[in-house]
């Protein structure tokens, strides 16, 4: 191509305060999408406004400097407003810019997105790499985008959708534009002088949690990469870019035990001086208790587990005499191998009360993870659970659909009371952990937790939330 087009990928400048406490995370999805754009013959760039804490003034300057033919972004429900505003800015600066939006929220809400803003030209629905590559190729050649599977766009007074895009059979050879990242900007604050990256070993989840949007996005499918290729990628990123901390960003990396253990064995054999952070199911940790030493030897230092937060689970598991459930067993296994643990607990169900909040907090204390998240129940507008709780949804601003701000008003509590309860759970949990952390004999784990606690308590976001909690408690007296 004599004069290849240029595409600029932008992360929306959205901040919810929680995830950013521990590190600056790479936009792994844009790394793959930029690779796909290159396959279509375009020049690709990445502007990571979210990680760099850039606002619209900095984004505008980057748009003017780049003068890209295409501007693309991806969005969750919480980031959709800023993603659309970013594309609107691109259009104001250069009206002939072609804008493309993908991600979970646009996939399910493409009609709303396309009708609410004329600045969004195309929505990529579902898995994006092949769709984006084909869309860019068609647009560059002046073809009809309606022929591209997985694309939605306006035409006249209506919305055109191409054929449904089947998912890739193999995810082993995803195009990755690692060189487009400014690696010095990405770090895991808990590990001094670290460089933070991310990988996937699989895509998808075949479970049916009604509140989860990802299992719906992946259509309850699960595809795994060849463990050897994953380890080769880790070695490449460590050698070329000096990345020594990696987030395994899979929804469910441990589904296949044989494959997972093969990955651990290969990684151990490489003897890479790296650390790994991951999330998985509690049942798989219990299943793998006999190989948990391999987790730690391979470099896994942080495991987040999902906890069943239904009202029945809180009632059944809140007292020790009921017997240890799977989540408690998993956390005990993790602790026994010097790995930092995390568990999340949901608050703000329609039947939430002061007593149920206390039971949830007691459950968190009983489980005793190293880190706990107390999250607001957030039914995405496309989630399976949404119809059942629709009448209790009071917040319509998508920016607050972030698991931090309550959007459901329970039958006997206000939104403000739920927010105060969440903040109070955080305060009491971490205040109660101070002595335990300071007296830990594991030097590495103690250091990690002390640094995390310092980061957590020093966060301006946390200070703001604690203020909400304290004022809320005073007003209730």
Q: How many CA atoms lie within 13 A of 196 on its CB side?
A: 21
pLDDT at 313: 40
Tens-digit pLDDT profile for residues 427-436: 999 999 999 9
- For 47, the enclosing helix (H) or strand (E) is strand 43-47
Instruction: Report how far residue 137's alpha carbon sits from residue 128's, in angstroms, rounded to the nearest whole number.
Output: 14
Q: Say whether pLDDT at 213 is over 80.
A: no
Give the largest Cα separation in the chain, rounded. 73
What are the residue ranges spanned by the domains of the chain? Answer: 6-161, 178-476
The answer to whether the CB of 36 falls within 8 A of the CB of 72 is no
Tens-digit pLDDT profile for residues 352-386: 999 999 999 999 999 999 999 999 999 999 988 89
Strands (E), 333-386: 340-347, 371-376
pLDDT at 218: 65
- The mean pLDDT value for 247-263 works out to 96
Q: Can you list the alpha helix ranges (DSSP code H) found in 53-154? A: 56-66, 80-93, 104-108, 110-116, 129-141
Residues contacting residue 422 through CB under 8 Å, at least 6 positions apart: 347, 348, 374, 375, 376, 406
Q: Say whether pLDDT at 111 is over 90.
A: yes
Could you tell me what percent of the chain has a pLDDT over 90? 82
The top-level CATH class assigned to 6-161 is alpha beta
Q: How many CA atoms lie within 13 A of 140 on its CB side?
A: 22
- Pseudo-torsion of CA 174, 179, 184, 185, nearest 10°? -60
pLDDT at 459: 75
Give yes or no on whether 6-161 and 178-476 have one common fold.
no
Q: Per-residue DSSP letters for 290-325?
A: GGHHHHHHHTEEEEEEE---SHHHHHHHSSGGG---
The answer to whether the CB of 378 falls within 8 A of the CB of 436 is no
Q: Say whether pLDDT at 206 is over 90.
A: no
Tens-digit pLDDT profile for residues 129-159: 999 999 999 999 999 999 999 999 999 999 9
Tens-digit pLDDT profile for residues 277-330: 999 999 999 999 999 999 999 999 999 997 755 444 444 433 333 335 899 999
Q: Say whether pLDDT at 16 is over 60.
A: yes
Q: Per-residue DSSP letters for 191-228?
A: STT--EEEE-SEEE-----TT-SHHHHTTT-EEE--HH
pLDDT at 244: 98
- Partners of 279 in beta bridges: 304
Q: Per-residue DSSP letters for 332-347?
A: HHHHTTT-EEEEEEEE
Q: Give the neighbor-by-neighbor strand order of the sheet with 300-306.
A: 196-199, 245-248, 275-281, 300-306, 340-347, 371-376
Q: Which CATH number fits domain 178-476: 3.100.10.20, 3.80.30.20, 3.20.20.70, 1.10.10.10?
A: 3.80.30.20
In terms of phi and psi (left: phi > 0; alpha: psi -120 to 50; beta: otherwise), the region of 17 is: left
The answer to whether the CB of 219 falls within 8 A of the CB of 251 is no
Instruction: Report how far residue 108's alpha carbon sits from residue 210's, in angstroms, rounded to the nearest whole number.
Output: 15
Instruction: Report how far residue 78's alpha carbon sits from residue 403's, in angstroms, rounded to the nearest whole number.
Output: 9
**Strands 151-155 and 158-161, bridge-based pairing:** antiparallel
């Amino acid at each position: 191509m004599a004069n290849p087009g240029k595409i600029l990928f932008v992360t929306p400048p959205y901040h919810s305060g929680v995830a950013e406490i521990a590190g600056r995370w790479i936009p792994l999805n844009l790394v793959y999408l930029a690779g796909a754009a290159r396959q279509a013959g375009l020049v690709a760039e990445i502007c990571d406004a979210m990680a760099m804490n850039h606002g619209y003034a900095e984004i505008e300057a980057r748009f003017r400097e780049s003068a890209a033919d295409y501007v693309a972004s991806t969005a969750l429900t919480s980031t959709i407003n800023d993603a659309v505003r970013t594309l609107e800015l691109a259009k104001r600066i250069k009206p002939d810019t072609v804008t493309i939006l993908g991600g979970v929220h646009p996939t399910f809400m493409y009609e709303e997105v396309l009708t609410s803003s004329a600045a969004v030209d195309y929505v990529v629905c579902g898995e994006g790499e092949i769709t984006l590559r084909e869309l860019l190729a068609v647009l560059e050649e002046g073809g009809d985008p309606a022929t591209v599977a997985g694309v939605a766009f306006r035409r006249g007074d209506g919305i055109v959708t191409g054929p449904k895009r089947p998912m890739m059979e193999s995810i082993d050879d995803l195009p990755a534009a690692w060189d487009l990242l400014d690696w010095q900007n990405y770090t895991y604050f808990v590990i001094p002088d670290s460089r933070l990256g991310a990988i996937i070993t699989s895509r998808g989840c075949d479970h049916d949690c009604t509140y989860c949007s990802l299992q719906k996005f992946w259509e309850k499918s699960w595809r795994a990469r060849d463990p050897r290729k994953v380890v080769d990628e880790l070695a490449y990123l460590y050698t070329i870019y000096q990345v020594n901390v990696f987030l395994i960003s899979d929804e469910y990396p441990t589904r296949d035990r044989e494959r997972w253990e093969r990955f651990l064995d290969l990684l151990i054999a490489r003897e890479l001086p790296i650390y790994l952070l991951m999330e998985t199911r509690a049942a798989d940790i219990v299943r793998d208790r006999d190989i948990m030493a391999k987790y730690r030897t391979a470099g896994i230092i942080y495991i987040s587990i999902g906890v069943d937060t239904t009202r029945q689970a809180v009632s059944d598991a809140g007292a020790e005499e009921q017997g240890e459930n799977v989540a408690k067993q998993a956390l005990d296994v993790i602790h026994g191998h010097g790995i930092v643990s995390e568990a999340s607990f949901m608050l703000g169900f329609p039947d939430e009360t002061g007593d149920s909040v206390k039971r949830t907090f007691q459950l968190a204390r009983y489980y005793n993870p190293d880190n706990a998240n107390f999250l607001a129940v957030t039914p995405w507008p496309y989630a399976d659970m949404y119809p059942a709780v629709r009448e209790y949804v009071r917040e319509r601003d998508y920016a607050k659909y972030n698991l931090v701000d309550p959007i459901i008003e329970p039958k006997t509590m206000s939104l403000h009371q739920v927010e105060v309860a969440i903040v109070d759970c955080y305060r009491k949990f971490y205040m109660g952990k101070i002595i335990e952390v300071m007296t830990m004999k594991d030097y590495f784990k103690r250091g990690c937790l002390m640094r995390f606690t310092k980061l957590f308590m020093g966060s301006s976001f946390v200070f703001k939330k604690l203020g909400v909690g304290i004022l809320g408690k005073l007003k209730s007296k």
